[in-house]
């Protein structure tokens, strides 16, 4: 039986945002998951991703940023997004049994998670589902400065055709971060991890990444070693 999800709401400043929490029996870790700039927490990619993680022993909390909750298209500025991340991690901690608490995000959501950790938000580790290293076609505008001070385990999952991260540039960034960072390529994947010529739903695509993520979390969660 799939793990049941429970709706949750929590405050980000004066705003209430929505979340979806799922907890399998005896999870070894909890993963909080943020959406990308153009889609909310109910996107099939994220639903497939979190459901597959639940099947692999990970509790999950998906949540909306305030701009998405309000129906706006333009993403929140970093201070608001970071506040949302802190509130989401607090919400997940309130449901946990003191298992390791990780942060993950698709594109914008992952970048904001890393900025929150860089500003002191506790996290057992970070998972990037398509890190937006630079805007498409603008490799000179790197979004990497805050990454070099992070010591928490980090997994970069990236498509080789992702226009938001030139492969050579991302490999250089991960190398400079050092042993805390691991890069895994999705051969032929774009920014949504879709592979040309492969017919697969967004939900199936998200689910396909869960195994690598759960394995990385197990290898880097103290209670699982």
Q: What is the pLDDT of residues 195-220, one digit of tens each?
A: 988 889 999 999 999 999 999 999 99
Q: Which two tokens stand for residue 188?
A: 């032929």
To the nearest 10°, report the CA torsion of 200, 167, 102, 219: 90
Q: What number is the average pLDDT over the span 6-34?
A: 96
Which residues lie closer than 8 Å to 84 by C-beta, 6 or more apart? 12, 17, 34, 63, 65, 66, 76, 112
Amino acid 105: pLDDT: 98
pLDDT at 224 over 60: no
146-161 confidence digits (pLDDT tens): 999 999 999 999 999 9
Q: Helix, strand, coil shares of the chain as percentages rounded to 5? A: 35, 25, 40
Q: How many CB atoms lie within 10 A of CB 30?
A: 27
Amino acid 225: pLDDT: 42
167-195 confidence digits (pLDDT tens): 999 999 999 999 999 999 999 999 999 99
Q: What number is the average pLDDT over the span 37-62?
A: 97
Kindly state the percentage of the chain with pLDDT values over 90. 93
* Secondary structure of 27-70 as H, E, C letters: CCEEEEEECCCCCCCCCHHHHHHHHHHHHCCEEEEEECCHHHHC
Q: How many CB atoms lie within 10 A of CB 125?
A: 24
Q: Which two tokens stand for residue 119?
A: 């500003």
Amino acid 1: pLDDT: 75
75-116 confidence digits (pLDDT tens): 999 999 999 999 999 999 999 999 999 999 999 999 999 999
The domains of the chain, with CATH numbers, are 5-224 (3.40.50.1820)
């Amino acid at each position: 039986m799939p793990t049941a999800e429970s709706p949750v709401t929590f405050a980000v400043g004066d705003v209430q945002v929505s979340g979806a929490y799922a907890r399998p029996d005896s999870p070894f870790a909890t993963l909080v998951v943020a959406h990308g700039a153009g889609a909310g927490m109910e996107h099939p990619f994220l639903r497939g991703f979190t459901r597959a993680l639940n099947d692999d022993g990970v509790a999950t909390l998906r949540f909306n940023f305030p701009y998405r909750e309000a129906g706006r298209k333009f993403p929140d500025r970093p201070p608001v997004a970071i506040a949302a991340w802190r509130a989401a991690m607090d919400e997940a901690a309130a449901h946990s049994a003191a298992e390791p608490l990780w942060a993950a995000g698709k594109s914008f959501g992952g970048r904001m998670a890393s900025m929150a950790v860089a500003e002191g938000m506790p996290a057992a580790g970070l998972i990037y589902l398509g890190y937006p290293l630079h805007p498409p076609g603008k490799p000179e505008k790197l979004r990497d400065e805050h990454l070099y001070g992070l010591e928490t385990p980090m997994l970069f999952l990236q498509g080789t055709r992702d226009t938001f991260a030139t492969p050579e540039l991302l490999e250089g960034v991960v190398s400079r971060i050092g042993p805390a960072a691991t890069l895994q390529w999705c051969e032929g994947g774009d920014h949504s991890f879709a592979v040309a010529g492969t017919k697969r739903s967004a939900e199936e695509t998200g689910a396909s990444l869960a195994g690598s993520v759960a394995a990385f979390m197990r290898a880097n969660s103290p209670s699982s070693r």
